[in-house]
A = this chain, B = another copy of it.
Amino acid sequence: MRVGLDVGGTKTDALAVDDDSRIVARVRRPTGWGPDAVAQGVLEAVRALAGEGVDLASVRSVGVGIPGQVDSATGRVVHAVNLGVDDLDLPGAVEDELGVPIAVENDVKAAAFGAYALRGRRDGAAIRSMAYLNLGTGIAAGIVSDGILWRGARGAAGEVGHISVDPNGPLCRCGQRGCIEALAGGGAVAERWARRGELPVRDIFDAAETGDPSARQLRAGLARGVAAGVRVLVLTADVDIVVLGGGVTGLGDRLMRDVERELQASAEASAFMRSLRLSERVELLPPGSPAAALGAALIGAAGDARHDTEEALVHG
């Protein structure tokens, strides 16, 4: 049995998979604030699986996906600002108590790995490579090819959110103009909308449909940003497909139609873009898919296997 956790800003998803990587149990718990509470939350989420019928003695590894910079070799987490964590040695904090190896990975990279596994199961026709483009408060991607998670030299592969695609575009919180994240990040878009609401991106889509000019502009920018992210990922990494996930994809088909329209527009302008058939290569992660927690479980299992066999499934 392998356990995977997705430590989010407000809640932690925990699940257990059997030796065939099938999900056998799943719980959700609130996430604490600050390094001690986050570490404690990890312990409690693992223990909560016992209440779902998981024999904790049979758990051989725990993988944790967490929103921050992660040194995947050591499991050290830095700058997890949404969790109040500046620096946390997560394995050091929980490994003794849990008694099994702990693997830690950035949450988007974990979700990419999990989405790849889910995609493989859902569709008989195998894909070899996939990018997972996470549309949340910020924007980042993870790339998986032939079962290998692409981390890059500094663990920063897939940070497409801060690629500028318009020198006259909106100012990004990073300081540049026209970043993909400034156009399509849920946080940036909500900030420019500036009307209070539970689901600002949904409000923007609704208002755009009633003709509100500011909402129409924000909605068009969002589609432009997502389409640019898809183009960057396909043109640079030439992945078979790009899977969209994250909070903003709660808009479902409304978002997809906008993104497809953007991709169609560049295909109409350019025979080269047309040849890439981008709109056929974009998919939504099915709602409720536990991609990050599943990916974390599989990364934990792979890390454990690596210790055993010296084979690196997750590419450093």
Please give the residue numbers on chain A whose beta carbons come within 8 Å of chain B beta carbons, in ascending order: 128-129, 141, 143, 145-146, 150-160, 162-168, 172, 174-176, 224, 228, 231-240, 266, 269-273, 276, 315
Contact = CB atoms under 8 A, between A and B. Distances in A.
A233 to B, nearest CB: 7
B151 A238 contact: yes
Contacts of A276: 156
Contacts of A236: 141, 143, 157-160, 163, 232-233, 236-237
A271 B174 CA distance: 7
B175 A272 contact: yes
Which of A141, A150, A272 is the most central at the interface, judged by chain B CB atoms within 10 Å of its CB?
A272
30 contacts: A128-B153, A129-B152, A129-B153, A143-B236, A145-B315, A151-B238, A152-B237, A152-B238, A155-B238, A156-B238, A159-B236, A160-B235, A162-B235, A162-B272, A163-B165, A163-B235, A164-B231, A165-B166, A165-B167, A168-B168, A172-B270, A174-B270, A174-B271, A174-B272, A175-B269, A175-B270, A175-B272, A176-B269, A176-B270, A237-B237
Contacts of A167: 165-166, 224
Contacts of A157: 236-238
Given A152-B239, A164-B266, A168-B168, 19 more contacts: A145-B315, A146-B315, A150-B237, A152-B238, A153-B238, A153-B240, A154-B238, A156-B234, A159-B238, A160-B236, A162-B235, A165-B167, A166-B167, A174-B273, A175-B269, A175-B270, A176-B269, A233-B236, A236-B236
A167 to B, nearest CB: 6
A235 B139 CA distance: 12
Contacts of A166: 165-167
A170 to B, nearest CB: 13
Contacts of A162: 235, 270, 272-273
Nearest to A238: B152
A176 B235 contact: no
A218 B228 CA distance: 24
A172 B175 CA distance: 28
Which of A141, A143, A153 is the most central at the interface, judged by chain B CB atoms within 10 Å of its CB?
A153
Contacts of A129: 152-153
A222 to B, nearest CB: 15
Contacts of A165: 163-167
Q: 9 closest Cβ contacts across the A-B interface? A: A152-B238, A175-B270, A157-B238, A236-B236, A153-B240, A175-B269, A174-B272, A156-B238, A174-B270
